Amino acid sequence: MVPTGPVARRYHDLTAHSPDSVRASGHELDWENKPFPFKVYTDIPGLHLPREIDVLATPALAAIGGEGAAPPAGLTLAALTSLLYYMAGVTKRKTYPGGGEVLFRAAASTGALYQTEVYVVAGTVEGLPPGVHHFCPGDFTLRRLRGEDARAALAEAAADATPGRRGATLVLTGLVWRNSWKYRARTYRHLFWDGGTMLANALATAAALGLAPRLFTGFVDAAVHRLLGIDGAREVALALLSVGPETPPAASAPPPAPIEHATLPLSRHVVDEPLVAQAHAASALATPEDVVRWRAGRAPVPTPAGARLIALPPPDPRAGRALGETIQRRGSTRSFAQTPLGVAELGAALWATSRPVPGDVPTGLVDIYMSAHAVEGLPPGTYLYRRDAHALDPLDTGEFRRQAAFLCLEQPLGGDAAATLFFLSPLDAVLAAFGERGYRLVNLEAGLAGGRAYLAAYALGFGASGLTFYDAEVVRFFLPRAAGADAIFVTALGRARGAVGDVLGLNTIAAPTRRS
């Protein structure tokens, strides 16, 4: 049975932000009980990964578009290490007066809470024994949770031969409490937004390394949870990413035995979020046949274009920084200068957000609305981006900085940006097509699009920040065009006040040596 969509709709409505809900929240952070940012297995020795990382010389925009090195003869531990570093590694450290320290990572994450864990189901990786490994960015190690080649079991769970035929598949999971400590029930959205920003990095990195990534959002959840030895409630599987050249299919093996390993406690005690658990359980797929049926869902027809489109300059994928340098520099801009972006810069970012994703279901479930405040050659106002025509559909003309800041939970970033992108989805139509799991798809796609916008911005020398928002107010702002849509995620683009990076006073940490 492929589940339908009422649980997702209820979850979405119950976790919507409004000016009233935010003011009435009264939630106070329990700093004594803050979850530790790394999952640490205490009963397994760590395999220290090589400290030499590929510089990823492919221009970031080209890599986002799927270009990169020729496919290597096989998947090596060196390539896998680079992939892990650029998707989930610690790239910067900030120390605060009074001794606090945050280890910032390659991809943006709500509240810098980093609840997304990465596992590697490895088969034929030169230099790495087969098995299921957990990646810990804190000490830059892999810990082997199982010793057998489990790729055939993963292929069965994904109802697709690919995970059994590639050198390795990365599994992204969300550790709910690490994020819900701060964001409570809204965390379920964040699992997919933050999973999406990591996938933006991972897809581009894997393309740059010639690893032909393939994303799976449909899988038998319980089978993947069993494989990783996670409970499927407090830690849940989000997506699979198969990488590396094709190999002969992994031999089938007996069903994986249960595993249980000791880990450091996340914090003194965990507070469960029933809405998160319900939304996840309701969107689970139970059998490979269900996965196949679910994948046959058809994307809703895109919103019809208005009569007059403004063509954007064709993007130059070779412009801007290389991917490795882009990811190393990426950070969230903390204050925008209200200075303009060029229309080509904006166009390149919009193009990047909506590149196809090599995956098991279609993308294009999310539309990109925009409040443009300062873009050279573009009248200030609201627009809808038409990815098929790489053009803007003008909606309304006006100076909307104040309104845009309000929509972004009254954060100045949303109004000071040169342009603020609002990702909206025809959610009910998506839920009708893809059932409860359609909710995962729209949030993941919006996070991925936002993650790509971050990369495009840092490739071209400007800044970006993900933002949260007042749900209904966003839709109201974009009426009548947005009638029937729901707000999913927001990303602001613009030039940082002060030099990018300096705003945070970040020191690049002793990153692994990078090799060309």
Ligand X SMILES: Cc1cc2nc3c(=O)[nH]c(=O)nc-3n(C[C@H](O)[C@H](O)[C@H](O)COP(=O)(O)O)c2cc1C
Site residues for ligand X per CB under 6 A:
104, 108-112, 193-194, 197, 331-332, 411, 413, 447, 465-468
Give the DSSP letter string of 287-330. Answer: SHHHHHHHHT--PPPPPPP-S--EEPPPP-TTSS-BHHHHHHH-
What's the min distance (Å) between Cβ of 110 and ligand X? 4
What's the min distance (Å) between Cβ of 252 and ligand X? 39
Give the nearer residue to ligand X in terms of CB position, either 123 or 450: 450
Taking the C-alpha atoms of residue 157 and residue 137, their distance in angstroms, rounded to an integer, is 27
Give the nearer residue to ligand X in terms of CB position, either 400 or 458: 458
Q: What pairing do the DSSP bridges indicate for beta strands 52-54 and 513-515? A: parallel
CB-based burial label for 515 (10 Å; 0-12, 13-18, 19+): exposed
Give the nearer residue to ligand X in terms of CB position, either 162 or 197: 197
CB 279 within 8 A of CB 7: yes
Taking the C-alpha atoms of residue 469 and residue 409, their distance in angstroms, rounded to an integer, is 5
Give the nearer residue to ligand X in terms of CB position, either 156 or 416: 416
> Which residue's Cβ lies closest to ligand X?
466
What's the min distance (Å) between Cβ of 128 and ligand X? 28
What's the min distance (Å) between Cβ of 210 and ligand X? 27
What's the min distance (Å) between Cβ of 169 and ligand X? 24
What's the min distance (Å) between Cβ of 131 and ligand X? 31
Taking the C-alpha atoms of residue 389 and residue 503, their distance in angstroms, rounded to an integer, is 36
Give the nearer residue to ligand X in terms of CB position, either 167 or 195: 195
Give the nearer residue to ligand X in terms of CB position, either 87 or 413: 413
CB 85 within 8 A of CB 512: yes
The DSSP code for 143 is E
Count how many residues are written for the chain.
516
Q: Is the peptide bond before 358 cis (omega within 30 degrees of 0)?
A: no
What's the min distance (Å) between Cβ of 459 and ligand X? 15
Taking the C-alpha atoms of residue 474 and residue 210, their distance in angstroms, rounded to an integer, is 39
Taking the C-alpha atoms of residue 286 and residue 279, their distance in angstroms, rounded to an integer, is 15
Q: For residue 132, what are the β-bridge partners?
A: 121, 146
Give the nearer residue to ligand X in terms of CB position, either 119 or 423: 423
Residue type at 357 in one-letter notation:
V
Indicate if the alpha-carbon torsion angle 355, 356, 361, 364 is positive or negative: positive
Give the nearer residue to ligand X in terms of CB position, either 332 or 371: 332
Q: What's the token pair of residue 502?
A: 């300096």
What's the min distance (Å) between Cβ of 197 and ligand X? 5
What's the min distance (Å) between Cβ of 30 and ligand X? 19
What's the min distance (Å) between Cβ of 410 and ligand X? 10
Give the nearer residue to ligand X in terms of CB position, either 197 or 328: 197
Q: What's the token pair of residue 177?
A: 């409490």
CB-based burial label for 379 (10 Å; 0-12, 13-18, 19+): exposed
